[in-house]
Amino acid sequence: MRAVHYSRFGPAADVLEPGEVPTPEAGQGEVLVRVAYSGVNPSDAKARVGSRPGVTKPAYDRIIPHSDGSGVIEAVGEGVAPDRVGERVWIWNGQWQRPFGTAAEFIALPAAQAVTLPESVSLQAGATLGIPGLTATQAVFGNGDVAGQHILVSGGAGAVGHNAVQLAKWGGARVLATASSAAHDRVRAAGADHVFDYADPDLAAKIDSATDGQGIDRAVEVEFGQNAALLAEIMRPNGTICAYGSGKEMTPTLPFGPFLFKALTLDILLIYILADGPRKAAITRLHKALSEGGLSPAIDAVYPLEACAAAHEAVMTPGRAGAVLLEL
């Protein structure tokens, strides 16, 4: 089968190699999926370049990247219902702690990680649901319904943030978001009631005014380290910060006093290791939002498999307007 793989860390154009590799088979409890689209995420590009401290070489001799994808079940292994053959599915954790992900014509993986795709949802949209979709869903609804709450989405123009804005609005929240000035109209169109420039020196005061002094009930935070001090100002007492990223400041200084006297909850989210119960609940909520028109995942660009290196560069380029996919 056709695939893209790498065996060493480095720039995308230097280490990603298109070529033929053996087609996998579905083992016990597994399904074999013919991949239609492979979702490219920043985490895939960071893993390929070897950005984790102390990690000097890939964990496997050959890695086919990407955890997200969509396609059609081609075959099933022992213990899986035969009537799943022909089912349209979306994939989560395709390459998490495994060598072979979705940047290939086929992937074999545990049946639970190939989720039936609602009829109304396209295969392109399905390839965005594993990381951007589930992260946004859990970040917004991780503690239940949000109707009537003030929710702040940091980075509302990003793939996760744009989904989170839509989901929070669908859930009945009053949605505030930050974004670059160039993206304000796009974030507002996604459902944000108020959009602010994240670099505005008066950001805290403007958020306070927009909530009539009530503060933020739940913050969906992509840059916790940079925004910890701001969050200490704008959160309401007993509010929750759901942080799924802190790439620009991985060793943040925590303003513990203000956090303490507001009794804030810091919920750190890594969607790859979400427990089974919360994951099933998030999938159910995500499908409901998709089926009811509450979420329309944005797609910035679709590349052919052989242009995987260009896709990795694109997903790390600031200002993109949605997910980046490979078409198989």
Q: How many domains does the chain have?
A: 2
Helix, strand, or coil (residue 22): coil
Q: In sequence order, what are the residues at sequence separation of 6 or more whose Cβ sits closer than 8 angstroms to the Cβ of residue 293?
A: none
Cβ neighbors of 18 (< 8 A, separation 6 or more) are 2, 3, 4, 305, 306, 308
Which residue type does 84 have?
A: R
Decide if 282 is inside a domain: no
Nearest to 242 by CA among 168, 162, 143, 129: 143
Q: What is the mean pLDDT of residues 149-155?
A: 98
With bands split at pLDDT 50, 70 and 90, how would you rate the model's confidence at 233? very high
Average pLDDT for 55-82: 97
Whether residue 265 is found in the same domain as residue 313 = no
- Note the pLDDT of residue 235: 98
Which 8-state DSSP code applies to residue 33? E
Exposed/middle/buried for residue 40 (C-beta within 10 Å: 0-12, 13-18, 19+): buried
Residues 111 and 231 in one domain: no
pLDDT at position 132 is: 98
Give the whole-angstrom CA distance, residue 225 versus residue 151: 19
Please, where are the H alpha helices in 190-223?
A: 203-210
pTM over 0.95: yes
Range of the domain at 104: 2-128+297-327
**Has residue 254 been placed in a domain?**
yes
Same domain assignment for residues 137 and 212: yes
For residue 286, tell me if it sits in a domain.
Answer: no
The torsion angles phi and psi of 146, rounded to 5 degrees, stand at: -125, 10
Residue 176 lies in a domain: yes
- Which of the four pLDDT bands, split at 50, 70 and 90, describes residue 51? confident
For the domain that residue 123 is a member of, what is the CATH number? 3.90.180.10
Q: Residue 53: pLDDT above 90?
A: no
The pLDDT tens digits for 165-208 are: 999 999 999 999 999 999 999 999 999 999 999 999 999 999 99
